[in-house]
Structure 1
Amino acid sequence: QAASARGASDSALPGRLLDLGTKGSGQTPWSRGGDGRLTLKGGVREVLAAEMLEALGVPTSRAFSLIETGEALERGDEPSPTRSAVLVRLSHSHVRFGTFQRAAYIGRPDMIEALVEHARALYHPAVPSGDAPGFLRAVVEASARLTARWIAAGFVHGVLNTDNLNVTGESFDYGPWRFLPHYEPGFTAAYFDQFGLYAFARQPEAVFWALTQLGGALKLAADAAPLTEALNGFGPAYIRELRAAFLARLGVASLGEAADQRLLDTTLALLREGGEALRWEPLFFDWFGGFASSARALGGPRGKLYQGEVFDAFRFALFEHEPDRPERLEQPMFAAPEPEEMRIDEVEAVWAAIDAGDDWGPFHAKLARLARARKAWGLTGC
């Protein structure tokens, strides 16, 4: 069996290198004792996560193909035996933070310098040759942008160690991911994350920790002070990118730092007050385009939720901003009462059809709807 998602090359910027990578191709010299395989369910989940994030403007890897191998796998954390697959992934880079850590661990500054030059030349060519702190600044900026867009998308990656973050700031390796059903800062995606290390609201903290590990590895090739200065840029960059990401999700243009921050704050306040009654994705769907969507939002299925002082503050902040490309509201998706979402019950239903009857119809139908949603939102991740 083989299932092919829409190719990732259509989302790549012209002239940018795309790498091919596999997940589930078997054991390697770096395997940790497992069989090196990917469950078919895990592959299906990765394809769906990447397509949804692409539609929401998050920089992400894409699934080029998903190929079933015919093997039966035994897994301790899900029903077994289960079906096996190999995923072929497309990304601009597969150079992870952990790649630098390995060179630092074995005490090889020459390898650190070679890695920096390789990654700088391919992915951050504006950084001068030999400028390790400048390279770190570029990675910090890209990582801040990625983290902000995760938050605006209501996405929880699940595992944010140095093996799951790369130098181009592209999201990848979707294991125990989830999208928020509603505003919940402590929401976790992984059953094993009992202490909320990678909870929704802690993702910026987790990414910054990983960046400090990268900075520590780069100390073999540069002085500590400029590396620390580069790392200190993460906080301001993240807040700046978060404002931009929320404006993009709401489909309005920037009005300046103060007004943009007011819209960010009031949007979060409305989501917080709405609780379980106001799901994350529908808020952005209802009010996409600002005042141009007033009648649609107030007359829609959540119209009764949009009242009170907190909502009034949100609406005032939103209406300050001009709609950005309001012609997007003419897309058929905005005539529907509900947005395209990626809730966990739908993901499980897609997999159940494949698992029980080898029915890939719901899977391909979801990909088609996500392609239409991507066109409607008109957002870009890279």
Structure 2
Amino acid sequence: MTFCFDNQFLQRFPDLAHTQHPAGFTKAQAVILNTGLRDELSLPYTDQQLTAIAAGQQLDPAMAPLAQKYTGHQFGHYNPYLGDGRGLLLGEWQTGSGRFDLHLKGAGPTPFSRGHDGRAVLRSSIREYLAGEALFALGIPTTRALAVTRGDLTVYREQPEQGAMLLRVAGTHIRFGHFEYCYHRGKAGDLKELVNYVIDTQWPDLKNLPLAEFFQRVVERTAKMIALWQVYGFNHGVMNTDNMSIIGETFDFGPYAMLDRYQPEFICNHSDTTGRYRFSEQPSVGLWNLNCLAQALSPIIESEQLVASLHTYTKVLQEHYWEKMTGRLGLSDSVMGRDIVRRWLKLLDESGQDYNLSFRRLITALRDSPETLPANLKTNANFSLWLRDYLNLLETEASDKAQLLAQMESVNPLYILRNYLAQQAISAAEDNDFKPLQRLAEVLRKPFSEQDHAEAYVAEPPDWGRHLQISCSS
């Protein structure tokens, strides 16, 4: 099996790349290393070498670091000045079973930094590391991180913070915004070559098919990713088109949050004053972004084919969503099953229940007695009727109760990445204690199975944890 860096992007798109070396830390400390992911990717680095790469100090000679140029729609407005302003694509790692980009975030200013410092802070780097691990364990397509390092510099955001770097892994770093840039600059040749590049490196099964199949694949992958966000209560917070991965991976974590209480209109991003990217709007924003991509691809794919694919988005998303959501309640995807789910979510909303924890509490109630459910849920005027209808439907669909409850536990997480847990790990790391971060990451990697000595990670947030303000600088 061959392992190497082939760095095709630089070879094929010199006009979309600015080569430069990272501005590494003079002194660096490993905050957390994802040695399991390193081994999965067959990367031949020791802990010391991985730390040096993640601090921009000593790269693999086969790497070819570069900043990519792209554009995108930010909060609905086209911005032509975007690009990798604080990160560098270090190299494209090729294995016999797949390929991955290694990207260093916080590596210093580039020509696309728009006057900013090109740095990352420890707080946001830890949040991205944890998010990647948490979503991956939930089965949500996502980028991940190999390492977080801390450096000997101060970075200024709302206040002075510790500088850090994050070594990110993605199938590809090609965004919707790459295609938008080529479209708005009249680069039809690069548009088609970008499509071919993604097909060659990610989806070789599309190689001899019409280009319209490429867009259909993007639509389906995006729809399924966002469906899973809605299933597990993930709010991205900044769904700009430059933050949308062309292969449907959760990308560019910023002011994200997992729902605590079930609030469909929840806004996780303090900077999102209009609520454009609130939880309930994510499916429609995904379609809006795909329309932007369709426009960008219109010089090389017929409009009728693009429109036909866009019309499949809602169907794919809803089918994937309902299959997973009815499964969370142990039901098959049916008209009655969907009605039970809708009524359950309405009950959670009206009674202020914790979203994911309520499913686990329901499993406990089914195993023992419905009386174990929270009082403010049971006293809802609609609860008794819902419970009767739910139990009746369960009885017609499931013959083995033990098997049913085990199946429900396998798709309903007990441990999720709550903002207050992330903040506790960040505060400890800022005081040079990395054990809480390492322990939290360990727990999040097994979200569905009860773990020893992990009771603290199940608890609903304290009052201060419900009022954390997360902004685009996060």
Counterpart of 1:298 in structure 2 is 370
Structure 1 Cα separation of the partners of residues 401 and 96 of structure 2: 24
Structure 1 Cα separation of the partners of residues 387 and 172 of structure 2: 42
SS in 2 for 1:212: helix
Counterpart of 1:48 in structure 2 is 130
Look up the equivalent residue of 1:175 and give its one-letter code.
G
Kindly report which structure 2 residues correspond to 1:98-177, keeping only aligned pairs within 5 A, or say none.
98-129=177-208, 131-177=210-256
State the 1:249 CA deviation.
3.9
Aligned residues of 1:263 and 1:318 also touching (Cα < 8 A): no
Aligned residues of 2:323 and 2:333 also touching (Cα < 8 A): no
Encode CA deviations 1:45-100: one digit per residue, 9 max, x unaligned. Answer: 1112222212222111111111112210011xx3x210011101112121110011
The structure whose residues are more often strand, as a share, is 2
Q: Does 1:4 align with 2:79?
A: no
SS in 2 for 1:339: coil
State the 1:365 CA deviation.
1.1
Name which of 358, 369, 372 aligns with 2:446. Answer: 372
SS in 2 for 1:17: strand
Name which of 289, 295, 308 aligns with 2:384. Answer: 308
Look up the equivalent residue of 1:211 and give its one-letter code.
L
Counterpart of 1:22 in structure 2 is 104
The structure whose residues are more often helix, as a share, is 1
Change (3 A) 1:266 1:128: farther
Look up the equivalent residue of 1:340 and give its one-letter code.
Y
Kindly report which structure 2 residues correspond to 1:232-311, keeping only aligned pairs within 5 A, or say none.
232-250=311-329, 252=330, 255-274=332-351, 276=352, 278-287=353-362, 294-296=366-368, 298=370, 300=372, 302=374, 305-306=377-378, 307-311=383-387
Counterpart of 1:380 in structure 2 is none
Structure 2 Cα separation of the partners of residues 267 and 10 of structure 1: 42
Name which of 423, 438, 453 aligns with 1:348. Answer: 423
Structure 2 Cα separation of the partners of residues 325 and 72 of structure 1: 55
Structure 2 Cα separation of the partners of residues 285 and 54 of structure 1: 20
Question: What TM-score results when the alignment is normalised by the length of structure 1?
Answer: 0.85
Look up the equivalent residue of 2:442 and give its one-letter code.
A
Change (3 A) 1:347 1:296: farther
Encode CA deviations 1:134-174: one digit per residue, 9 max, x unaligned. Answer: 11111110001000100111110000011111121110211
Aligned residues of 2:267 and 2:279 also touching (Cα < 8 A): yes
Aligned pairs, number = 362
Counterpart of 2:434 in structure 1 is 360
Aligned residues of 2:212 and 2:301 also touching (Cα < 8 A): yes
Tell me whether 113-122 or 234-243 shows the greater mean CA deviation. Answer: 113-122
Aligned residues of 2:140 and 2:229 also touching (Cα < 8 A): yes
Counterpart of 2:175 in structure 1 is 96
SS in 1 for 2:242: coil
Aligned residues of 2:235 and 2:257 also touching (Cα < 8 A): yes
Encode CA deviations 1:97-132: one digit per residue, 9 max, x unaligned. Answer: 001111111101111111111112332333353623
Change (3 A) 1:294 1:303: farther
SS in 1 for 2:147: strand
Change (3 A) 1:108 1:321: farther
SS in 1 for 2:200: helix
Tell me whether 113-122 or 213-222 shows the greater mean CA deviation. Answer: 113-122
SS in 2 for 1:372: coil
Q: What's the C-alpha RMSD, in Å, of the aligned pairs?
A: 3.0
Q: Bigger relative contact order, structure 1 or 2, given CA contacts below 8 A and separation 6+? A: 1
Name which of 69, 73, 85 aligns with 2:151. Answer: 69
Aligned residues of 2:108 and 2:118 also touching (Cα < 8 A): yes
State the 1:310 CA deviation.
3.0
Encode CA deviations 1:10-39: one digit per residue, 9 max, x unaligned. Answer: 888992322212211112222222111111
Counterpart of 2:161 in structure 1 is 82
SS in 1 for 2:359: helix
